[in-house]
Every structure is written in structure tokens, then in C-alpha cells.
Amino acid sequence: KRMDVPPPSSILNPLHHEEITLFGPGPTNTAPRVCHASSLQTFGIFNPPMVDLMKEVQEGLRYLFQTKNELTYAVNASGMAGMETALTNLLEPKDRLMSLTNGCWGGIAAEVGERCGAIVTKLEHPPGVPFSSDEVEKALKEHKPHVLYVAQSESSTGLLQPVEKLGSICHQNNCLLVVDTVASLGAAPFFMDRWEVDVVYSATQKAISCQTGLAPISFSSRAREKIASRKTKVQSYVFDVNKNMVQWGVDGVAKKYHHTYSSTLLLSLREALSMIAAEGLEQMWKRHSENTKRLCNGIEELGLELFIKDPAYRLPTVTAICIPEGVESPGSLNAYCMEKHKVEFGAALPPLVGKVWRIGIMGYNSTEWHTNKALSVFKDGLLHIGYTPKAAKVK
């Protein structure tokens, strides 16, 4: 019998690829120890090693988020699913969401909020301009949102938004605080309980040095009360926290099947968290800060401008570099560096498309060696597109 669709020759060929060094906004290269963990066997949903694995991941995540929250786990999908889990569980139709928007993520959070039926207000700043706690407080008093969204890591612009004062301001105004730490967790200080954050989420493929596919998340008791008082069902079945928490055995309840978690990714995350615990968060923060400073200095020595002018507000992971006037096809630098050096640099996201290049030095790649490699390949890319760097200091 002839098949309607024959086996494709593309997948009958042996798998082959050359190693790419990832200097984009994430994913970063996965630590070899983490890759090894993911090659161990697949577990059944409630096999004893899977139960232990989930418990160890929760404990490692509490350290990483600096929280004692019982409801701490990993959503079985990418960082965007972390955002979707946070907002779809907290928001009911007609609830008010305020989204701090000074890059791309605030706009996306606003759209997720609208899809939940929430009444959304965007507090807007030009890209890369941080919000002060005073203006946030004023806006909370004026708009009275139930939930405030802020990205600590605005990776489209390279901004590190201070969030430490926002939790108490939100609570004085009967509002819950959601913080996106996708491109900062493990690289910049974050203290969930000390800073009174209600929901935080991140992603595994950035400073955590794990593969893409899990979104660590944690909920405060205030956030849990809001979810418990919902009058409507959470619109998403997969991301419903009430169901997720039973599968994770939160509050010591008997675990029940909801959907199948990837034991492979949980093995990886467990190893990545073990590496983080062994290095220590303070050392991780120092390493990221030092290597990104090294990158920023090298970029400035090439005569280029950084998009975030004040070093205190620069992310220690993703750096946005202004594309100088006269450069007509900035994307050809990225294409050349991939072709010639097997190096990925980041493309821009809205609202900065055509305005910046982005270089990410994070997780396993946050080393002096990787930073120097990024600088020397970037310099070669600049020469290739006809831009002459000011100084020839970078070898």
C-alpha cells in the first residue's frame, strides 16, 4: 500500500549540528551537568523518584526566589506561560490590572489581562525609562488596580527596574504585585518575601542555565487568598493553580494527576538549582554584574552607546546597544556572526526594532572568557558591516 505521506528524507538523515554560542537575550547555553541530567531516564508521573524530584525542585526554587511560600513550583512551559499563569489566576472579569510599560513586556501583560476580561490601565514611560516608586504610588491611588504588573527585567531595552519598594506600596493600596523576573532571576538580587512580592515568575533558559521549557513561579498567601475567593473558574485548564498545586502536593495534600510534567526538564532544573545552591546566590549576582560590566566597558571602548545610560539601571544579563547612524542593515551583523563564528547575538524586540542590538551574557555563559569572545566576535561583525570601531583595544 502506498502511504499518503512518505517518510521525509530530512529526518532520515543523521542529526547533525555545529555548536552555537548563544549571546542573545536567552536561551543561553545549557550547563553540561544539566544536559547530562536530562539524558537520564523518563519517570512516570508518580514514580518515587519523580515525587522526590518535584519536592527538591520546590526547595531549590524557594532558595532562588528567597521565599518561604508553600505554593512554589515550575509551570510546564516557557516564561510566557509563567505570565499567563500569574495573570489568569489572579484576574477575574472586571478586575483592574495596571501594567507598568516601558518596553515590550508591559504591553504583552496588558494583552493577557484584557484576554482575562480585566479592565487594564497602562502606566507608560518611553522605552528604557524606569518607574519611580512615588509615581507608582500616585497611579495606584488614582486607578485603584487589584493587580500591578512590573518587569524587573525589561529585556527588550536592557533595563533593570527597581522593585523592592513596590510590594509595600501595593499592599497599602489593596493591590497585589506581580513581578516578571524572566531575564533577571539568579543574576540580580531578588527577595520575594522581604520585598512583599505576591506572584513572581521566571524562565529556566536564562541565568538558571537550564533548557527552555519550565517557568518557575511562586504565590504569596495574599495571592492565594485572592485566588481562593474567585467567583469564576480560571479560564485556562492547564495553568489553573488550584489544579497545579494538587499535582505538586502543596500543603501536604495527596497528589492527583492533572497533566503530565516533563520529568526530563525537572531533572535538568534540579541539577541547575543544585549548581546555583553550591555557587550561592550572592556569588551568582556578583559574577553576572562583573561580566556584564566588562561587556559594557568593551562596547563603549568600541565607540558605541548603550541604550540604558545609567549603569545602576542596567540588567546584568541583556545589554542593548544603540545602532549607530549610517548602519543600514544592522541584521547583517547578526547573520554574519552566526555564519562565520557560530555565535548568536540578539535581534531587537518592539519597540526598539532597528534601533538596538542585544547581547546576553548570562548563566553558564557569564564568564570572563565568554564575555571576551562576545566582544571580539561583535567587533568583527561591526567591521564586516563597514562600521569602524573607535578603538582597537578589544582583541
* Interaction site with ligand GLV (CB under 6 A): 25-26, 155-156, 182-183, 349
Taking the C-alpha atoms of 293, 296, 298 and 302 in order, what is their torsion angle to the nearest 10 degrees?
Answer: -160
Q: Is-cis flag, bond preceding 351, omega within 30?
A: yes
Least distance (Å) between residue 79 CB and ligand GLV: 7
- Kindly give the pairing relationship between strand 72-75 and strand 215-219: antiparallel
- Cβ-based nearer residue to ligand GLV, 105 or 195: 105
Q: Which three cell numbers stand for residue 316?
A: 546584568
Cα 190–124–95 angle (5° rounding)? 80
- Cβ-based nearer residue to ligand GLV, 111 or 142: 111
- Cβ-based nearer residue to ligand GLV, 345 or 387: 345
Least distance (Å) between residue 287 CB and ligand GLV: 21
Provide the terminal-to-terminal Cα distance of the chain, rounded to the nearest Å.
62
Provide the CB-side half-sphere exposure for 67 (13 A, CA).
Answer: 26
Residue-level length of the chain: 395
* 3 state DSSP class of 198: coil
Least distance (Å) between residue 347 CB and ligand GLV: 8
- Cβ-based nearer residue to ligand GLV, 67 or 78: 78
Least distance (Å) between residue 136 CB and ligand GLV: 23
One-letter amino acid at 182 equals V
- Kindly give the pairing relationship between strand 21-23 and strand 343-345: parallel
Least distance (Å) between residue 184 CB and ligand GLV: 11
Helical spans, DSSP H, in the chain: 9-12, 32-38, 48-65, 79-90, 105-115, 133-143, 166-172, 221-228, 241-247, 263-279, 281-301, 331-341, 368-384
Q: Which three cell numbers stand for residue 157?
A: 531595552
- Cβ-based nearer residue to ligand GLV, 139 or 207: 207
Residue whose beta carbon is closest to ligand GLV: 155
One-letter amino acid at 50 equals M
From CA 180, how far away is CA 87, in angstroms rounded? 11
- Cβ-based nearer residue to ligand GLV, 27 or 113: 27
Least distance (Å) between residue 78 CB and ligand GLV: 9
Least distance (Å) between residue 205 CB and ligand GLV: 9
358 marked ligand binding residue: yes
- Cβ-based nearer residue to ligand GLV, 26 or 145: 26
Task: Let me know: does 60 contact 274? Beta carbons within 8 Å.
Answer: yes
Q: Give the residue ranges of the annotated binding site.
A: 358
Feature table: binding site for substrate: 358
